[in-house]
Structure formats: structure tokens, C-alpha cells
Structure 1
Amino acid sequence: MPLHLMTHPELLAVARLDAGEVPTWDWSAGPFASLSHTPHETSVVGLADAIPAGVLSEGPFRAVEVAGPLAFDAVGVMAEILGPLVPAGISVLALSTYDTDWVLVPAGKVDRACEVWRKAGLIITPTILSGRGGA
């Protein structure tokens, strides 16, 4: 069965904070949000328009969700998603949740990525705008 990807229309960004720093803005709204930390940094993924001016960030990105839930022992999901993008020169940020995998695609390259994925046999469907308040 071909992999099914769902594109989300909201614009996201990835912000970098100092190690141990906690975001002071509402970072958890939107179709996908994530807070990760290491001994070296804190990374926040959320709606691009919610990140305050002056905070180091990259974006905008659009989220692409793998229809799930996926089994924890599923093998090759990311390879199937990322493999076709390599020759197309499209770089993404890959993230996972308990239920599924997500990729953040530069907003200006989403249409091209979807075209590449379709040619590779993946199913692509858009999702409706989820709104700022939730997924």
C-alpha cells in the first residue's frame, strides 16, 4: 500500500533558544508544534507568525504529515519520504511523534515536493486550514 502524506497549509518556523530557555510565547498552536532541548540549545517548532521578532528562526515551512498511526516497528518510512527528494534538491526537517512522522518542507518548495512524491507513487492530499487554536 502506498504511503499517504497530508499537507497542511499553515506556515511554520523553527526557532532557536539558548539551552534550558523556555519559550515565552504561545508556541503550541497549529497543526504541528514541538519543543526539543539538548545541552546546547532549545528548538521550538510552531506557527511562524507566533515567533516574536528578534528570536533566531528559520522558515517558513509547511508541515507534511504521514497518515497514521504508524507501527513502532515500521521500517523505511522516512527513506520512502526523503529518498525522492534528494535528486530534486529539496531539504526538509524530519520529526516524529508517538503516532506518526512529519516533515517540514520549505514553503516555496511544497508544490515541487508533492510532484516528486506523486511521481514516486505516494498519495498526497491537502488538509483544511486547522486554525491557530488547534490541530
Structure 2
Amino acid sequence: MVLEWLDGEFAVAKWTRDRKIEELGCFSFWSRTDQELSLVCPKDCLPEDAEKQEGGWAGFRVVGQMDFTLVGILAKISGSLAEKKISIFAISTFDTDYVFIKENDANAAQKALESMDFDFIKK
């Protein structure tokens, strides 16, 4: 399976009050539940009104469209990183999975995943 690093530093943010989802002009993943609105985006695109935010994240994605019948890919990634005590923030879209880790864990994460037969095409 092929993984691809995303460019730049990412931030994770949240709002608990009502807020409109906006187009940021960059990679952004908004998620609304009955308790919060969350956002993952490049740190330099982060809206200034976030109630809580944390920067310092690096991200990668599984390359290509993943069929819904595929099983265990995210579990294999998260399990491999958990063995190395690397925390993740995972998001899934219709096509693929994205995994965010703290930037200082990026090299260790790549080594751990390469040892599990994942290939990285960028970084």
C-alpha cells in the first residue's frame, strides 16, 4: 500500500458554539457533531476564532481510491504506530484515509510503516 505525505504543518481546531463552515482555499476537513465543530487544515489557513487549537501535526494519506470492501488498512496503520507509542488523529473521506501525527514523530512513523510494507512516495 502506498502512502503520501502532505505538505506543511497542520492544525486541529474546535468550536462548541454555532459557527458557519467556510471555504478556506486550502486542504480542510470540517466535521460537525451535536457537541462540536472540528477542523483539520494547514496551520496558516486556520481561522483566528477557534476556541481551541493545536498545531504541530504532519499528515499523510493512503494513495488512491479505496473500495468500501477493503478491510483493516487503517487498523494496520494505527496498530503499527501504536506499537511505537505514536498517537494519531485519523479522518476518512469517501475515497481514502488520512492520518495525522505530531511532526516530531514523523520519521519514526515512516520507519514503522515501511517495516510493515507501506511505501511512501513523498517527503
SS at match of 2:108: helix
Instruction: Indicate whether 1:71 and 2:67 are aligned.
Output: yes
C-alpha root-mean-square deviation of aligned residues, in Å? 1.8
Give me the whole-angstrom Cα distance separating, in 2, the residues matched to 1:28 and 1:111.
29
Cα distance in 1 for partners of 2:21, 2:65 equals 29
Q: Secondary structure at the match of 1:58?
A: strand
SS of the aligned residue for 1:84 comes to helix
Q: TM-score, normalised by structure 2?
A: 0.89
Normalising by structure 1, what TM-score? Answer: 0.81
Q: Partner of 2:58: helix, strand, or coil?
A: strand
2:100 paired residue number: 104
Which sections of structure 2, spanning at least 5 residues, go unmatched? Answer: none
Distance 2:80 2:57 in 1: 19
Matched-pair contact (CA < 8 Å) for 1:27–1:45: no
The offset of 1:19, in angstroms, is 4.3
Q: Verify: 1:48 aligned to 2:43, yes or no.
A: yes
> Counterpart of 1:115?
111
Does structure 1 residue 14 correspond to structure 2 residue 12?
yes
User: Of the candidates 26, 29, 54, which is equivalent to residue 26 of structure 2?
Assistant: 29
Q: What is the DSSP-based 3-state SS (H/G/I as helix, E as strand, rest coil) of the residue aligned with 1:22? A: coil
Aligned length: 122
Report the counterpart of residue 59 of structure 1 in structure 2. 55
Query: In the aligned structure 2, how far is the partner of 1:38 from the partner of 1:106?
Result: 24
- Identity among equivalent positions (%) equals 26
